[in-house]
Amino acid sequence: MFKRTIIPIFILLMSISGMALSYMLVEEYYFGSAPLNVHQELAHFSRLTSSMCGEESSFMSCEMVAKSKYSKVFNFPVAALGLTFYSILFFLILSDIFAAKALHPPIAVIFFWVVLLGSLADITLLLISIFMVNALCPLCLVTYIFTWLCLGGAIFYLVKYHVRPFAILGAFKTIYQFDQRKSFFKRIFITICILIISILFAYGADYYLNFRLERYKKQREQVAFEKAVEAFQNEMPITMDVEPIMILGDPEAPITIVEISDFLCPYCKKAAIALEQVIGENPGRVKVIFINYPLDMACNPYLGRSLHPGSCLLAAGALCAAEQDRFEEYQSAVFQAKLERPSFQILKELAREAGLMLEPFIRCLADREILNTIIRQVEKGKEYGVRGTPTIFINGKRYRGRADKDWLQKFIDLEWERIKSENP
């Protein structure tokens, strides 16, 4: 009895272990890039994966593989498909244990082909991981070994039952008994149930872990928002003596947003887009004043090194664009271009894209007063405690929230309610 059941029990254990490891890999897909404390909070198997998955920078790294574009198919984790695969193996071998003797050979044939396809998929994933991702996931490797062990068990079954693997059509005929309607529909129903349950394992795990991650992000965002609101309300407004070189929105609006920015800063691009949206959705309420603060030692003496070489040139271009009342068009052209160390020639191309008259633009750039204006703006930024970009003030209060439209709108609404309560 023991000899007859040892192989199926072994395969059952491999299948269950494979499902557990696949679930751990889906956790790694969603939480692998998170800080350790977040990983421990969200992942049920955090300690185990942390000990098995290796360092991010090493060749043996689950995180490197999980972050690659090959870790998902149509935005669905490949690891979740492992849950479906191993659960099908589990149900197949369970069926073999409890089925009549006449069904053992055909089940062995189907089991062999399922495991063979899984093994080929694992070999493909292994090659992709080594040669295209340049990293190997230790947990993935263990699941591959489990699959190959199951393949060994499948071959053992074929030998045991003296059945050829290519007798796949005969296997289906024997199992489903096409000539007996009652047995046919009963076994088709069982097969469909097995497939649905196996697929639901994958989708359920994916939905559950994605839900946990999104809920955590919302909770963290709410906490961050509440802290930002508290800091904003406790902030003492400062008097901002700003040269109104360029004002976006209604100049008479009661809410003044001062944006201190660098044209080569990617976060400044997001802030500029958000502020443009805010102006459009709050007519008569909001105006935005732009201040240059290039992270470039060519015009900013408060830096240890130039973080964005060429941003002083772009800042000068912004002032000259403002003289032609084309600042918004210039800003859009700059942020749409992917710039690194922009040259004077590139600046002229940006001016053309922004619809600027080129000769007045070039004369403006040669004017010494333009550089003096940028230096004065940098001085103002330093006076207001600017250490990085973008830095935003709302009616003289430093805004410490995220530079996106939704957050900015909430703070504008708060400031609007305060203004209305003070001026009933």
Amino acid at 247: I
As a whole number, mean pLDDT of residues 26-30 equals 92
pLDDT of 296 higher than 70: yes
* pTM, entire model: 0.75
* SS3 (DSSP) at 117: helix
Q: CB of 25 within 8 A of CB of 79?
A: yes
Average pLDDT, the chain: 90
Instruction: Place 1 in a pLDDT band, splitting at 50, 70 and 90.
Output: very low
How many helices (H) and strands (E) in the chain?
A: 16, 7
SS3 325: coil
Least confident range of 85-89, 98-102, 221-225? 98-102
Q: Residue 33 above 50 pLDDT?
A: yes
C-alpha–C-alpha distance, residues 137 and 66, integer Å? 8
Q: Which three-class secondary structure state does DSSP give residue 79? A: helix
Q: H/E/C letters for each residue in 373-406? A: HHHHHHHHHHHCCCCCCCEEEECCEEECCCCCHH
359-399 pLDDT, tens digit per residue, is 999 999 999 999 999 999 999 999 999 988 999 999 999 99
pLDDT band for 407, please (50, 70, 90 cuts): very high
DSSP 130: I
3-class SS of residue 203:
helix
How far, in Å, CA of 215 to CA of 100, rounded? 48
**Amino acid type, 261:** S
Q: Are 254 and 285 in contact (CB under 8 A)?
A: yes
Q: For the residues 74-102, what does the mean pLDDT come to?
A: 91
Q: For the chain, where do the domains classified as CATH 3.40.30.10 start and end?
A: 247-422
Mean pLDDT, rounded, for 16-28: 94
> For 2-16, 22-36, 101-115, 372-386, which range has the lowest pLDDT when averaged over its residues?
2-16
What average pLDDT does range 152-159 have in this prediction? Answer: 90
According to CATH, the topology of domain 247-422 is Glutaredoxin (3.40.30)
> With bands split at pLDDT 50, 70 and 90, how would you rate the model's confidence at 339?
confident
For residue 3, pLDDT beyond 60: no
